[in-house]
Amino acid sequence: MPEVQYWGRIEVSPTAIASIANEAVLTCYGVVGTAAKGLAAGIVNVLSRDSKRGIEVRIEDGRIIIDVYVIIEYGTRIAAVALSVMNVVKFSVERALGIPVTEVNVHVEGLRVSDTD
């Protein structure tokens, strides 16, 4: 998305934004992976560290809208984790770019069960 400056322009591509968001999501407690949209739970890339498949960035009318598709650890409070994903993504992207993020939508694509109790 272009930001007009006096001596030129800085453009940040949605892919770059996705990278920032991806990093943020993966340090977010409770998220054990991102998943490409709509994939069946069996073939999601649960531990994808550098893939940005689970992040979709759209620019609509100059507003940044980010959709994240995540796998969450079974046994955590999903609502709380999702809320914290929203906060962390919004904060990280805004801190890096200085441009407000309008929406962060969290899609829980699956749960990873590492322990049952």
Partner 1 sequence: MTDETVSKAVRISPHLSTDGQGFKQLMEAALAWLQRHQAVINALNVYPVPDGDTGTNMVLTMQSAWTEIKDSPERSVGRIVHQMAHGALMGARGNSGVILSQIWRGFARSLDGKEVYRAQDLAAACREATTTAYKGVVKPVEGTILTVARAIADAATRAVEETEDLVRILEHMVFAAHEAVMLTPSLLPVLAEAGVVDAGGQGLFVILEGMLRYMRGEQVAEDGQLVQSVDLITTGLEPGEIGYGYDVQFLILGQELDMDAIRQKIVEMGECPLIVGTPDTVKVHVHVSDPGVPLSYGASLGSLRDVVVEDMQAQYKDFIVNSELSRSTSSQISQEIGVIAVVLGDGLARVFQSLGVGAIVHGGQTMNPSTQDLLDAIEKLPAKQAILLPNNGNVIPTAEQARALSTKPVAVVPTRSIPQGIAALLAVNYQADFETNVAAMAEAMEEIETGEVTTATRSATINGLEIADGQIIGLHDGELKVTGTTVEQVVCALLKEMNQTQREIITLYYGDTVSESDANALADLLQQEWPDQEVEVVAGGQPHYLYVLSVE
Q: Which is nearer to partner 1, 60 or 117 (CB)?
A: 117
- Shortest Å distance, C-beta 79 to partner 1: 9
**Measured between alpha carbons, how far is 75 from 115 in angstroms, rounded to an integer?**
8
Q: Which is nearer to partner 1, 10 or 80 (CB)?
A: 80
Q: Which is nearer to partner 1, 45 or 105 (CB)?
A: 45
- Residue ranges that bind partner 1, judged by CB under 8 A: 24, 26-33, 47, 49, 73, 75-77, 80-81, 83-84, 87-88, 91, 114-115, 117
- Shortest Å distance, C-beta 66 to partner 1: 15
